Amino acid sequence: MPRVAIVATAVVAAVVLAVVLSRPDNGGTGASDGGTSTATGEVFLQPAADTGPDEFTESTAQEDSSASPVTPSGATESAPQNAVRGVNGNAPGLYGGTRNVASCDVEKQIAYFQDAPDKERAFASVVRIQPSEVPAYLRSLTPVQLRMDTRVTNHGYKNGAPTSYQAVMQAGTAVLVDDRGVPRVRCACGNPLSPPVATPSAPRTTGAAWPGYKSSNVVTVTPARQPVDVFVMCEPDGEWFKREAGDTGKKDHKTPKPDQSSPSASVTTPTAPTDSTSSEPPTSEPPTTSDTSGPTTNEPSSDTPPPPDGNTDGNTGGDTGGGTTDQPPAS
């Protein structure tokens, strides 16, 4: 009998512990408490002009959402529920903007961090560099605007620490991209970005969808195999120009329209979540791809709750694709 009682007590304790650890307010599942939304399968929709929750800084976006949206070509058949359509970071037309105008004010972003050393340290921990390296890191990035609704891991700032959650950023969002073409900073809030990660089940979107949103058109950016020297970008009026990597638009020059103006997408293999604050050196290897199509998903309902604010128990709508296999390089 004593042995049976001991076993029963242990089972009860294990169940209680599992319930406690799975609660959003205990860390590990809520985007606003330093965890990720991956465990809950939630993906938050973020309109281009919306600052969003737990911002690192004030907005440094210098352009309105002027980039002309484009639908990726290729990848039109069904795919696993956690797959996502990937577009190569050096694809012509992946990004847009206005010639000779930077979509983000990099120097203003640097000044914000210099005035807030705690946030600068948190930002540095996400992108895996030293706080003193943040200015040089930001200056190495290229300001552009998204031309497709793009899935990422977004990192906010709350209670002195970085948070993380899965998000879809609307086409027209101003971002800074690295030398492989991967979005690394969202200019409307100063948040560091990293590639998305897979959710354990079919992703569920939360937040209000914008006009024209379709989960089947959501993409993620896969890193180019070689550093990108020049980004071929499209203006709102349909003109094309080239922007050198790391330049803020001062050296922009016109270029003919490319033969393929709609970037081609392919299905990427999801990857498990990783610790964004790990000291492990980052990599920027491209993920495994196939020539099948993007995910088949449902659309979000119109009465979905806003992005994470510490309560992720609201109603959810349709889904988006899952993560990629590229590991988050310096972001």
pLDDT at 90: 95
Nearest to 90 by CA among 218, 251, 273, 243: 243
Whether the Cβ atoms of residue 136 and residue 31 lie closer than 8 Å to each other: no
Strand pairing class (230-234; 157-158):
unpaired
From its phi and psi, is residue 129 left (phi > 0), alpha (psi between -120 and 50) or beta? beta
109 contact partners, CB below 8 Å, separation of at least 6: 57, 60, 138, 185, 187, 190
| Partner residues linked to 230 by β-bridges | 244
Q: Which two tokens stand for residue 221?
A: 């950016």
Q: Which two tokens stand for residue 64?
A: 């309105």
pLDDT at 76: 54
pLDDT at 308: 52
Q: Which two tokens stand for residue 237?
A: 């009026």
Q: Which two tokens stand for residue 279?
A: 């000291």
Identify the helix (H) or strand (E) that includes residue 124. helix 117-127
| Partner residues linked to 322 by β-bridges | none
Nearest to 331 by CA among 164, 93, 145: 164
Q: Answer positive or negative: Cα dihedral of 306, 316, 212, 235.
A: positive
Determine the 3-state secondary structure of 131 from DSSP. Answer: helix
pLDDT at 57: 97
pLDDT at 67: 74
pLDDT at 2: 53
Nearest to 138 by CA among 105, 161, 97, 91: 105
pLDDT at 265: 82
pLDDT at 200: 73
Whether the Cβ atoms of residue 285 and residue 93 lie closer than 8 Å to each other: no
d(CA 326, CA 287) in angstroms, rounded, equals: 5
Determine the 3-state secondary structure of 86 from DSSP. Answer: strand
pLDDT at 79: 58
pLDDT at 26: 29
Cα 72 to chain center, whole Å? Answer: 18
pTM of the model: 0.72
Nearest to 279 by CA among 127, 133, 122: 127
Low-confidence ranges of the chain (pLDDT < 50): 1, 4, 6-36, 275-306, 309-331
Provide φ and ψ at 13, rounded to 5°: -60, -40
d(CA 35, CA 29) in angstroms, rounded, equals: 5
